[in-house]
Structure 1
Amino acid sequence: MLYVREDTAGIRQIYRSNIYGSNEKQITNMDSNSLSNARLSPDGSFVLYTWPGASISMIYTIELRSGKTYGIPGWPEGKNYNPVWSPDSTKIAYSATHYSNGRYYSLIRSVSPRGESDTTLAASNGFFTPVTWSPDSRRIAYLSGCGDIDYTYKQMWSIDITKPVPINMLYDTNLYTLQWSP
């Protein structure tokens, strides 16, 4: 089991234990209470998390066997959101917020667990864009078409990571979240 709980100093840390709650091991040693989005890779070899918080959000991974931490390069503004593992554990998809010409955009990106091959695949309008992987780890779906006033999305797109040409799947409706069905 992988979980986040407070340590003796009241700071959120990532822990791991067996299914009976014994053999607990602390994975992180954070010095502030801003750790979020802890997710174990499907194959159990890495954990990802975001830190330090809402206005600045960087993505990190920890290789559980070695304990080594990797920083995901992300976008220079440090606003990297909604990280999700591909089902085959070889990639992470996320949205990186970019501000240009008075508007927010999200760059849909993918990266290896060690931070290599960080690539922009598509763009979405909106501050932070939900993303999800297809069961075969070949496609990413994401929301777009966000208004300036609210954060309701109006479009759903998908992209094949080997041939990055976005395809509009749904439009002109209110969308809030998405997840690819198995």
Structure 2
Amino acid sequence: MSARMKSFDRLVITILAGLAAALLGVMLIGSLRGARLPELAAAEVGSRGPLELIYAGDTALTGVEAYVRLEPETAVRTQWQGSTLQIWPEKALAAGENYTLILAAGAPGPNGQVTRREGRWEVKVRPAQVVYLHPAQSPDLWRAALDGSPAQPLTQSGGKVFDFGVSPSGRWVAVSIRNDTAGVDLWRVSREGGESELLVNCGKEMCTNPAWSPDERQLAYSRRRVSSTTGQPGLPRIELLDLASGQAAPLYADPEVSGFEPVWSPDGQRLAFFDGVAGAIRMVSLSGGGEDLLLPSEMGMVGSWSPDGRRMAYLDMQLTSAAPLVTLYEANLESGEVRPFPLKGDFSLTEFAQPEWSPDGEWLLAGLRSLDGPVSKQLWLIRADGSEARALTDDFTQTHAAYRWSPQGEALVYQQLSLGASAYRPEVWVRQGDGQFLRVAEDAALPNWLP
């Protein structure tokens, strides 16, 4: 019996030793092969990105960022969303082009391993489309490609859409929709329109002006609360919604700081909005450093950040001998200098509409009209240093508004309204890179680009 036990023990030990050797061999082979490459989240992205690599596990991997690059060579910034590495281009990618996302060998991987081989993924940049409200008086949100294919509705609210904000990636649109209690809720709708989610149930209060942070982690919006005693609407205030947790909170504890039309700085470090109580554009650092910057203005609207975030072009009222005049101003946010925009030529009797900085920072787009001419506003391009200005439109029977640059800056979308029409039926138009004009939609308003 004892001999049999010894024989059995030797057999067990032999088997265990074999298993250990096999396991060691597997580990050695795995070590030699290196970490498994991540998966590409999507083979098609918008001009602003992000390109995404999905890693196994649920945590970020420190140091991977240094091994990532794009071809053709493109400056990028990276961030982690859980175990997904997001690669955001610093400048818009060229629509219709292919890019190669490269992860160099030696990049950190899960379980302390490193990649032994280079990873390469081909990514195509989809053409930008246009989103807008239609019909103009009782709208839903619509999406249209510029290839002549039929437009598609993204919401089916029965004409209750108030306004909207497009996410930088173009995957989502935040939409303000009137509810059954006379308030306005915030929703998130996918670019295809097939997926929607209630973000903020605002009840009898109005949540409007949704604006995505550049990293898509937060949504700023204006909330007009209703008094619990009088039932009357109070001051609009800026709130921030954390999209991961679903938690929302006022930007300021002080209820006397009002706010609407929030606009993020390009780097996401500051937020600008109009404070009606202060009578100024208020800029706040979200990192908590420094005092708020106030730009006095009587226009009730925020201006446009320069792409580098160092300047803001905005409007204010100027008293002249002829009449009050809406004038273009420039604020240098580094020096604190504020001055009328340095325009070459005589614009003393010219009234300006909202400026929009081009993505490359070389131009401003604005609506202009002369006080001694027709009342319609025409689209003009103005050099960022004021050295040149030229008209893009000259049909004075039409007035132009709600204009936006495409992500790369080669095209413009805008709203056009006939001044002689008996009914309010604006149209959405695009001025393409070759200078040709394309009508996108009739009875439509407030267009924007969907990357």
Cα separation, partners in 2 of 1:14 and 1:81, compared to 1, 3 Å: closer
Q: 1:175 aligns with which of 338, 352, 369?
A: 352
Rounded to whole Å, the distance in 2 between the matches of 1:126 and 1:8 is 34
Residue aligning to 1:82: 261
Q: Deviations over 1:139-160 (max 9, x none)?
A: 222211256xxxx753222223
What stretches of structure 2 of length at least 5 have no aligned partner?
1-171, 226-232, 360-451
- Give the superposed CA RMSD: 3.1
* Amino acid in the other structure paired with 2:243: L
Highest relative contact order (Cα 8 Å, sep 6+), 1 or 2?
1
Name the CA distance, whole Å, in 2 between partners of 1:80 and 1:74.
Answer: 13
Contact 2:182/2:204, CA 8 A, preserved across alignment: no
TM-score (norm 2): 0.34
Q: CA deviation at 1:112?
A: 4.0
Match of 2:245 in 1: 66
Higher helix share: 2
Residue 39 in 1 paired to residue 39 in 2? no
2:72 is aligned to none
1:135 deviates by 1.0
Mapping 1:86-125, distance limit 5 Å: 86-98=265-277, 106-113=279-286, 116-117=288-289, 119-125=291-297
Q: Is residue 161 of structure 1 aligned with residue 333 of structure 2?
A: yes
CA deviations on 1:2-46 (whole Å, 9 max, x unpaired) are: 222245766422122433334422110211152211122232111
- The Cα shift of 1:133 comes to 0.7
Decide whether aligned partners of structure 1 residues 52 and 76 sit closer, same or farther in structure 2, where only a CA change above 3 A counts. closer
Give the structure with the higher percent strand: 1
Matched residues, percent identical? Answer: 23
Q: Which amino acid aligns with 2:259?
A: N
AA aligned opposite 1:168? P
What is the alpha-carbon distance in structure 2 between the residues aligned to residue 164 and residue 27 of structure 1? 37
One-letter amino acid matched to 2:214:
P
Deviation at 1:72, TM superposition (A): 2.0
- Of 79-88 and 43-52, deviating more is 79-88
Q: 1:146 to 1:30 in 2, by over 3 A?
A: farther
Task: Name the amino acid aligned to 1:180.
Answer: W
Check whether the contact 2:185–2:203 (CA below 8 A) recurs between aligned residues: no
Gaps of 5+ in 1: 99-104
Paired with 2:290 and 2:352, the residues of 1 have a C-alpha distance of 27
May I ask how many residue pairs the two structures share in their alignment? 171
Distance 1:131 1:84 in 2: 9
1:169 positional shift: 0.5
Q: Equivalent of 1:57, from 220, 228, 236?
A: 236
Structure 1 residues 19 and 97, CA, compared in 2 at 3 Å: closer, same or farther? Answer: closer
Change (3 A) 1:128 1:153: farther
Supply the distance in 2 between the matched residues of 1:122 and 1:153 (Cα, whole angstroms). 21
TM-score after normalising by structure 1: 0.75
The answer to whether structure 1 residue 131 and structure 2 residue 296 are counterparts is no
Report the Cα distance in structure 1 between the residues aligned to 2:182 and 2:331, rounded to whole angstroms: 42
- What is the letter of the counterpart of residue 73 of structure 1? Y
